[in-house]
Structure formats: structure tokens, C-alpha cells
Structure 1
């Protein structure tokens, strides 16, 4: 069965071109031509969302924020805005990739394929990535089959990144949602925990720094 892709793009010519390229690449695209308020489950049927930012109706950033309230579906942003602040804001809100217009639709298809090759962490269960296995329910971590003992904070930090492997998670979010704000809620403390977690996971680059944003779970390439 073809993988379903949701395209949200108001430009009729570009949208038709993208839909054609996605269809010829073996995907099953659905095309929305305007932004809309999202309800729980609206994007659950799709493997990936391609989202324009400047939309009639609901703005793309607002749609992205709403998606992240209840879904881990990968989101690839399309925008004519090349400003770094816009890119950083989209990534902080949970976007997985950002492409600026104009672009070749064939390049977009390859970005889609690359994103779909990465595992997507569901809100329950576990993830396996480059020899790393994280089980959320049992709170167990293994690297190359060997158990790794983590503290509560270290596991919660790893689990937060594992929920969206390959996507950046901001340092501010990690501080507010992983650390104890009464005892250790600073970005400097977060960096210390990341350093310790990296040492315990071994030489693979599982936790990557995304400069100016935060951290992400990578593929475990050798340092």
C-alpha cells in the first residue's frame, strides 16, 4: 500500500506539481489548499505532512503547533521566507525539515524519502536506532544488545529525544519538561546531563547538538 502524504499548499501550480511528483514517486498524496483548525486525529492517517507557512485561513505555524499537541507525524515545512528566525521558530515548534521556495519538486520527493527512512517514535513503545534500543514502558536502554544503566533524569532525557528521532528538541523544552525546576532547572545543568548520557551510550553519536536550538537523537554514527 502506498504511503499517504498530506500536502498543505495554497499555490495551485506548485501544489499540482508536487502532487504529480509524489504520485509518480509511488506515494498517495492528499492536497489541502488552505489552512484549517486541526482536530485530534486529523493527521493520524498520514506518514508525513508537507506544510506551507503562508496559508489562507489558519497560518502554517499555528497548524504545526496544533499538530505537535497530539501527533509525532513528521512535518516538512515549505516557505518562501528564508529568514533564519523563521527556520528556528519552525524547528522549535517541532518541524522535522525546512525547505525554502523556489525548489525542485524532485528534491522535495527525495527529502520525503529520507525522512520516511528514519524511524518515527510513537507515544508508547520503543525505538531502535543504529544499535540503540529505548523501551519507554520498561524504561530499559540497550546499546548493541548490552544494557545501559541510567539515572531517572538521564532516561527521561533520552526518552524525550527518542519520541522524535532525528528532530531537534529545544534546550528550553528539555529543561522545563525533563529537569526538576526546583533543584536543577537550568540549561547548564541540562548540558551536564547530556554529557554524562553521551558517555554512557558509548562512542556512537546518538545525541547530536543542533546549534542554537538544542539536541536530537541521531543515527549513532561513529565519532
Structure 2
């Protein structure tokens, strides 16, 4: 049973979400402030987080920087495109505005949990491109692709966020533990080499640069 954490100080919305999720068979945990959420996340790891932005204590924007390896769907009354883009670039998996349709939210939750499940099972797939998290290997169809440690870390992050732009600073932050040698200056070179290797076996340009922001993988 997947567990979903609701982080929202509005008890009416939190109660409504909790009821709808439990009807769908999800386990639910709740926090009513950013500070409380951070404390809960130190002792448990839900499968997905529903995050409001306007929270007492730590705001949603501050909290999202401290969440790693858990998909976050932001639920906010902020409707400006700049707000949505900013949160997605900071690491949110998805963004839905209030008021929202509960069926649409449930569908978005299903999509994000499906992505996470593929990672937990040890393989991330984007078309014929397959990344094996246990063996740290990558294949296109049945062809092995030899990558450096840094290239592998970048590809893994982009595949986990397939179809979404990942900011340069987000990439550097997320892969810093595995590849401390990667800098903002060298990132472009690593991505260039990665694109070349993927295209050599697939004849497909999987990675595109979004000028001034970052990179995106799609197929």
C-alpha cells in the first residue's frame, strides 16, 4: 500500500484529500506546517507528497529543497506560469492549482507512483532506453552504453524527470554526492558527451537543452 503525505495547513482541504485517498486504498500521513513535515520526513519516507506552498514555519518553497527521492505534487492557489515553472525547476514532479478536480489529482498521483515504482524495481525506462539502478548500467534495446559515473548520474536524474526541464543548479545539487567533481562549467561538457553516446546507439537525440535554464530528456 502506497503512503501519501499531505502537507497543508488548511484542515478542510487536508480532510477532503485524506478521505479521497483512503477510499482509493492509500495510506495517509499528514503535516500542518513545513516544520512538522520536516520532522516527520526525518523518521519516515512516504511514496509521494502533496505539498501546499503557504505553510506556517517553513514554506513549501523552502521545504521542497530538503526533499530528496520522493515525488512532490505541489497544490497551490498560485496560478502564475512563473510560479509553476519555478517550482518544477526546483524539483517538484507536478503542479496543480486550487481549486482542483479530485479525479485529475488522483490521475496525476497514479502517474507519479508508476514512475517511482519503476525506479524501486531497479530499472528506469524511456522507450528503448533502460537504466538499471542496481548494476549502474545503461542499455538501448540490447546494446550496452558505456557511461562515466557523472554521465550515469545525470542520465538517471533526467530519466526520473522525463519530459520535464531540470535546471542546471538542480542537477549539480542532486548529483553532488556521487559526482563532486562536476561543476557548472563542466556540466555542459558531460551532457554533450552523454548526448553523443546516446545518439550513437539510438540515432535519437534524447536530451535537449533549454537555453539559460537546464536540460530535458524526452523520447
TM-score using structure 2 length: 0.77
**Does the 8 A contact of 2:131 with 2:156 survive in 1?**
yes
Q: Which residue pairs with 1:7 in the alignment?
A: 6
The change in CA–CA distance for 1:54 and 1:127 in structure 2 (over 3 A counts) is same
How many Å apart are 1:85 and its aligned residue? 2.4
1:127 equivalent in alignment to 2:123: yes
Number of residue-to-residue matches in the alignment? 210
Whether contact under 8 Å (2:49, 2:70) holds in the other structure is yes
Query: Could you tell me which residue of structure 1 aligns to residue 64 of structure 2?
Result: 64
Deviation at 1:206, TM superposition (A): 4.7
Match of 1:79 among 72, 76, 81: 76
Q: Structure 2: which 5+ runs fail to align? A: none
Contact residue 21 and residue 106 of structure 1 kept, 8 A: no
Any conservation in 1 of the 2:130–2:139 contact (CA below 8 Å)?
A: yes
CA drift at 1:151: 5.0
* Distance verdict in 2 for CA 1:61–1:181, change over 3 Å: closer
1:100 partnered with 2:101 = no
- Equivalent position of 1:185 in the other structure: 186
Segments of structure 1 that go 5 or more residues without pairing to the other structure are none
Alignment-derived partner of residue 47 in structure 2: 47
Show the counterpart of 1:150.
147
Q: Over aligned residue pairs, what C-alpha RMSD do you find?
A: 3.2
Change (3 A) 1:27 1:180: closer
Runs of 4+ in 1 over 6 A off after TM superposition: none
1:82-119 CA-partner distances (Å, limit 9, x unpaired): 12222222122211001111111221111101111113
